[in-house]
Amino acid sequence: MLVKLNNIIMFALIAFFISWILYPIYINILKKYKLGKTIREASVTWEQSKIFTQLHEHKKGTPTMWGGIFLIVMALMIWLSYILKDYGFVKNTLFNRQETYVMLFGFFSMGLLGLLDDFLNIKWYGKIKWLSAKAKLIGMVIFSGFISRWFYSRLGVDYINFWPIAGKVSLGLLSPIITFFITIAIVNAINITDGLDWLAGGLMTMILFVLGVILFFNQTYIATTVIAIVIAILVAFMFYNIHPAKIFMWDSWAFALWGLISSLLYFLNMRTGIFLPFIILFGLFIMDLSSSFLQIFWKKYFKKKLFVVAPAHHLFEHKGVNETTIVMKAWFIQWILAAITIILLFYQFNKTFIN
CA triplet 61, 260, 19: central angle to 5 degrees?
50
Q: Helix, strand, or coil here: 159?
A: strand
Residue ranges covered by each domain of the chain = 2-155+173-271
pLDDT at 342 (0 to 100): 92
Calpha distance 37→35 (Å, rounded): 7
Taking only the tens of pLDDT, the chain with its 355 residues reads: 666 899 999 999 999 999 989 988 888 887 777 665 554 544 444 455 555 455 444 445 455 666 788 899 999 999 999 999 999 888 899 998 888 988 898 899 888 888 887 777 666 544 444 455 666 677 778 888 888 888 888 778 888 888 878 778 888 888 888 888 888 888 888 888 877 767 888 899 999 999 999 999 888 999 999 999 999 998 988 777 666 666 666 667 778 888 899 888 888 887 788 888 999 999 999 999 999 999 989 988 888 889 888 888 888 888 888 888 999 999 999 999 999 999 988 887 666 544 4
Collect all residues with Cβ–Cβ distance below 8 Å to 196 and sequence separation of at least 6: 313, 317, 323, 326, 327
Calpha distance 184→223 (Å, rounded): 22
pLDDT at 43 (0 to 100): 47
Torsion over CA of 91, 94, 97 and 100, rounded to 10 degrees? 140
CA triplet 293, 283, 52: central angle to 5 degrees?
45
Calpha distance 353→337 (Å, rounded): 24
CA triplet 282, 215, 73: central angle to 5 degrees?
80
Q: What is the 3-state secondary structure (H, E, C) of 258-313?
A: HHHHHHHHHHHHCCCCCHHHHHHHCHHHHHHHHHHHHHHHHHHHCCCCCCCCCCHH
